[in-house]
Amino acid sequence: MDEKTRLIRAGNAPGALAKTVGPPIQRGSTVLLPNAAALYDYGQVTYGRQGLAAQAALQEALAELEDGAGVALYPSGLAALSGALLAVLKAGDEVLVVDNVYVPTRRFCEQVLKRFGVGVSYFDPRQAPEALVGQASPATRLILMESPGSLTLEMQDVGRIAELAKGRGILTACDNTWGAGLLFKPLHHGVDLSIQALTKYVGGHSDAFMGSAAARDPAMVRTLNEGVLHLGWSVSPEDAYLMLRGLRTLPARLEAQGKSALRIAQWLSGRPEIAAVLHPALAADPDHELWKRDFTGAASLFTIALRPAAPAAVDAFLDALELFGLGFSWGGYESLAISCDPQLRSRRFPRDYGGPLVRLHVGLEDADDLIADLRRALAAYSAA
C-alpha cells in the first residue's frame, strides 16, 4: 500500500488494554462497528456521543451512589436540571418549584419553560407538604425541590411530598447537590428524579462541569437518556474520568469538610456580629429535626446572616478574608465566600433572615486557620 494509506491505518489496532485502577479514557466520535448489521443495532453504542468507556464507568458508579436503575449525564449541573425537566414536561403542564431553588434553575423555568407553554409557580420551602400538594392543579406534572437550598438552606419533607405527589400522579425531582448522593438518598424517599451538580462535591476540585439525573424506574432512565440524545449533549471522557476520580474520595472529603464546617458554624453562632447561622445540622435551626431524620451527615456549605449594617460593611467583611476565596460554586477542596442578597430578589416568598447574608463553603484547610480568617473579617465588618 502507498505510504498515505499506511499512515492512516498504522497503530489502529492496539492489543488488549493493560488493566489500570481507573477506566481507560477512550476518545472517539466515530465508533467502528464489527459488521454491516451492527451499524443499525441500537442496542449497542454506535456513535461516540452516547459515551464510551469512561462515561459508562461513571454512570455505573453514580447508579451505585444514588441506588438508581441508571443515571443520565449532562454537561453541567444546570444542564441536568434543564435536561431532566425538558425530558418529562410538555406544553400545558405545570411545575411547582421550591422558592429557594438555585437561581439559574429559576431563570430556566421563567425564560425557557414558560416560553414553551409550561406553567411555573413557586412554593415556600417550608410550606407543609399537605398544603403544597393540595395546591396542585390537574395540570401539575412535577414538583421540583432543593433541600437544603444552596443559599438559604431551608429544607422540605421530601419523602412526605413525594408520597403525596405520587398519590396525585405528580412526578417529583430533587436537586440534591448539597447531599451529593451520599448524605441523602432522594430515591430512597420515593423521589422520581435525583439530580445533582457533579461540578460540586463529586468533582471536588473546582475544575470541571458535569451534572447527573438518577431514577429508580428503568423507563424513566430511558426517558432521561433519550432527552440527552434529543438535545445532542455529551460529556467528554476526560471530564467523566475526573468525576469518577473525585467520587473515590467523596466520603472522606465530605466527612472532613462537613465536620470542619459544623465547628465553624458553631463558633460563628456565638459571635455578637452574627444574627443567625443558616445550617440545618445546628440544633437551633428550624429544619434540624428533618435533617436529623433524613441525612446521614452535613455538607460544608452554610450561610450566615450578619447583624444589619451598611452594604459596604459586607464588602469589607469579604475583602478582609484571606483564606476564603471570593467566588461562585462550592464543593471543592478549598474555602469560598460570596454575598447572597442580590440572588434573593427574585423570591416570591421573601423571608427576613435578620441581616445581610454571606454564604461560606468550608474546604479542607485547617478549621482553626479558617476561624482566624473569619475573626479578621468580622473585625473589619464591625470597623466598617
Ligand X SMILES: *Cc1c(COP(=O)(O)O)cnc(C)c1O
Residue from 58, 72, 78, 377 in contact with ligand X (CB under 6 A): 78
Residue from 99, 157, 175, 294 in contact with ligand X (CB under 6 A): 175
- Can 175 be counted among the known catalytic residues? yes
Q: Toward ligand X, which CB reaches closer, 66 or 273?
A: 66
Q: Toward ligand X, which CB reaches closer, 149 or 313?
A: 149
- Can 216 be counted among the known catalytic residues? no
Nearest approach, Cβ of residue 151 and ligand X (Å)? 9
The pattern of x and - marking residues 7 through 36 that bind ligand X according to CB under 6 A reads ------------------------------
Determine the Cα angle at 63 with ends 62 and 67, to 5°.
120
Q: Toward ligand X, which CB reaches closer, 62 or 316?
A: 62
Does the protein bind ligand X through residue 108 (CB under 6 A)? no
Nearest approach, Cβ of residue 196 and ligand X (Å)? 7
The alpha-carbon radius of gyration of the chain (Å, integer) is 23
Where do we find the cell 468525576? 243
Q: Please tell me what DSSP assigns to residue 48.
A: G
**CA distances (Å), origin 38, targets 27, 35, 42:** 20, 6, 8
Q: What residues contact 244, with CB distance under 8 A and at least 6 apart?
A: 22, 23, 54, 57, 58, 61
The pattern of x and - marking residues 178 through 217 that bind ligand X according to CB under 6 A reads -------------------x-xx--------x-x------
Q: What residues contact 16, with CB distance under 8 A and at least 6 apart?
A: none
- Can 115 be counted among the known catalytic residues? no
Distance between CA atoms of 167 and 157, rounded to whole angstroms? 16
Q: Toward ligand X, which CB reaches closer, 57 or 80?
A: 80
**Out of 93, 157, 175, 192, which one is annotated catalytic?**
175
Distance between CA atoms of 142 and 96, rounded to whole angstroms? 6
Does the protein bind ligand X through residue 76 (CB under 6 A)? yes
- Can 217 be counted among the known catalytic residues? no
Window 33 to 72, contacts with ligand X (CB under 6 A): none
Does the protein bind ligand X through residue 82 (CB under 6 A)? no
- H or E element at residue 197: strand 193-197
Q: Give me the DSSP letters along 112-164.
A: IIGGGT-EEEEE-TTS-HHHHHHT--TTEEEEEEESS-TTT-----HHHHHHH
Window 291 to 330, contacts with ligand X (CB under 6 A): 329
Where do we find the cell 445533582? 196
Residues that bind ligand X (CB under 6 A): 76-78, 102, 146, 150, 175, 177, 197, 199-200, 209, 211, 329
Which residues are the active-site residues? 49, 102, 175, 200
